[in-house]
Amino acid sequence: MSPLDNPAEFQSALIRWFHSEGKTYPWRETAEPWHILISEVMLQQTQVSTVLNKNFFTKFIERFPTPASIATAPEQEILSAWEGLGYYRRVRNLQKAAIAICENHGGTFPRDYDEILALPGIGKYTAGAVSSFAYDLPQPIVDANVARVFSRLFDFQQRVDSGAGQKQLWQWAEELLSQDNPRIYNSALMELGQQTCTNKAPQCGICIVSEFCSTSDPASLPLKKAAKKTVLVDEFAIFCIDDEKRILLQQESSEKRRAGMWKLPLYDFSETENLPLLSKSTYAITHHKVTLRVFHCSSENLPLTSTPEGLTERWHLISELAEIPMPSPFRKVLDSLLKDHF
């Protein structure tokens, strides 16, 4: 039986299940739209466990409880508050949305769906999520969890990341949306994808809506474009500390994804190959696997070359480092070097 054959029973089954099995998250304990927007932006490309375990959400709303509180905040402050979550364009978009709320809505978060959608950096999913979770308004949502659930329920044999695939998923989301309990229904639909209809090991035997599912091979769905091959990248950084216990850092240019963040200065291998190697580590970013090597360089040997075009280099006191926004891989290696070697 298709969910479309009996939408009311499909909705009821999900809602009953969610009331007994739905997890408790801080963003589910509030109807404050600004806080819900923050949670949605955080969770776009970050796992729930990461946001929870490091208390990112709670700390961020304590620091920026209202749109007005972040609208005029310095860039370095918002980058520092977002440190560890990555994809820093997200927090810049949050600030742009906050500015628009202050300038166009008197600092009050809009209730109208179209006005939410018009905020900078807000897409169809996020606008629907805020509308349903904050205001309990009937707006459909399709995220990765919902796409996976629908692709299996309907045995959808098209790519979910194609234009046609997205159009079909959103159509199902609209047709199956609960008009009476959109907040709980949308939460339940996402939760089903997180808990039961999981990516690699769907638990069909305990699925509350299994009677509505038509696929015989759930693990093969959803269909997507083949993932990009992993690109190997080498980075060569220097660790340089002077007699005043200051460390040389390099600020990323405005065109890069880490714009405004500070890191250990990066140079070509030819400029570091004769320096003592202090550490070697790896980290992943999108489809890249990066090997980061850090070499020791005395302040007397600087500069190795002129500062690379578009970058700023500056000395920072060790006591200031905690307040300086820094990408997690560099923060980790710098903390280790300061602890173990100096």
In one letter, which amino acid is 171? Q
Which position among 29, 40, 115, 273 bears the catalytic label? 40
User: What whole-number distance in Å separates Cα of residue 1 and Cα of residue 211?
Assistant: 6
> CA 49, 55, 56, 60 torsion: positive or negative?
positive
8 Å CB contact between 33 and 93? no
Per-residue tokens: 173 = 């989301």
Q: What are phi and psi of 109, to 5 degrees?
A: -65, 130
Tokens of 260: 């405004």
d(CA 21, CA 36): 21
Whether the CA torsion 298, 299, 301, 304 is positive or negative: it is positive
Tokens 């963003």 belong to which residue? Answer: 27
Helix (H, G, I), strand (E, B) or coil at 154: coil
CA distance 189 to 223: 19
40 has catalytic annotation: yes
The residues with which 277 forms a beta bridge, in sequence order, are 295
Active site residues: 40
